[in-house]
Amino acid sequence: MLTRRKTLQLAASAVAMPFVSHMASAQAYPNRPVRLLVGFTAGGGTDVAARVMAEWLSQQFRQQFIVENRLGQAGNIANAAAAQAAADGYTLLFTGPNSTISASLYKKLPYDLLRDFVPVGGMMRFPNVMIVPATLPVKSVREFIDYAKANPGQLSMASSGVGSSVHLSGELFKFMTKIDMVHVPYRGGAAAYPDLISGKVHVMFDNLSGPVLELVNSGQLRALGVTTKTRWAATPEVPAVAETMPGYDAIIWYGICAPKNTPTQIISVLNRQINAALKDQKVVARIAEGGGVPMPTSPSEFGEFIKADVQKWRTVIEFAGISAD
């Protein structure tokens, strides 16, 4: 016969079992391959960065971290798949500003970035650079602003597509300066360069990269400023846009999130390994090859960063009246 005391003990054990099982699963993590979802094509900047981190995590955990490219809708296909995945640490999302921009750019998404994910940690950051044709009669951000205000509506701003970080960096510039420029979206950044070099379009806020710097160094384009708060170590001769426009800041960043309710023990162990990777000189060197610097964070710091980025781009998107729906 069960005594009241034994009955209570059994009931308590039954309640505790799922928690104990959850703990045991987290402690054994990972005991099978982990998927790292990327919303962009193989070989692109986002994919390359994801593979650098996946390689490190595979070596440290002695378990495969497999990059899986889920293309479409500016990364939202991958985001939706990750949001709907089991919260067990075996599906992660490699993400960047495409996600914080999409949170406002798309009115109807099958997921909510802030509600359906938990932050794991940042990986890297790098700037865009404000570039103009060498023939444009301006040599600084201040001169560009004055020239644009003297010629309202006559200048055009190229981008790699509506809602891209390249586009929104320019819209943030327009928002803060109150200048009028016509947006000209292209199918990718590379497609814009013939028109930019020839002067058919007048400015672009593209990713700071080797090919862009080659065009600047060859004299075909002129770099007016980087989009980070301060000058970028790799290009110390290029001023920050913020030196002319205090508060201007538009960085490109990458990091990892997980589906909501992923055990905190798994989040913690992943964050420790990500931050350890960002101290490894081989990883740092590969990040530098992509024009970036490490961006170590705690999960909570990364979460606050994402919230702030969502709010910043929401303000810009509402000002510009942009929508992808």
- Quote the distance between the C-alpha of residue 164 and its chain's center: 11
- Tokens 């993590």 found at: 29
Per DSSP, helices labelled H in 192-298 are 193-198, 210-217, 264-277, 281-289
Q: What is the pTM of this model?
A: 0.87
Reported confidence tier of residue 20, pLDDT bands at 50, 70, 90:
very low
Kindly report, residue by residue over 23-64, the tens digit of the pLDDT.
Answer: 545 678 999 999 999 999 998 889 999 999 999 999 999 999
Task: Note the pLDDT tens digit of each residue in 284-298.
Answer: 999 998 889 999 999
pLDDT exceeds cutoff 50 at 226 = yes
112-142 per-position pLDDT tens digit? 999 999 999 999 999 999 999 999 999 999 9
8 Å CB contact between 309 and 249: no
Domains and CATH numbers, the chain: 32-125+252-320 (3.40.190.150), 127-243 (3.40.190.10)
The answer to whether the beta carbons of residues 94 and 52 sit under 8 Å apart is no
Q: Distance between CA atoms of 153 and 149, rounded to whole angstroms? A: 9
Q: What is the mean pLDDT of residues 245-254?
A: 96
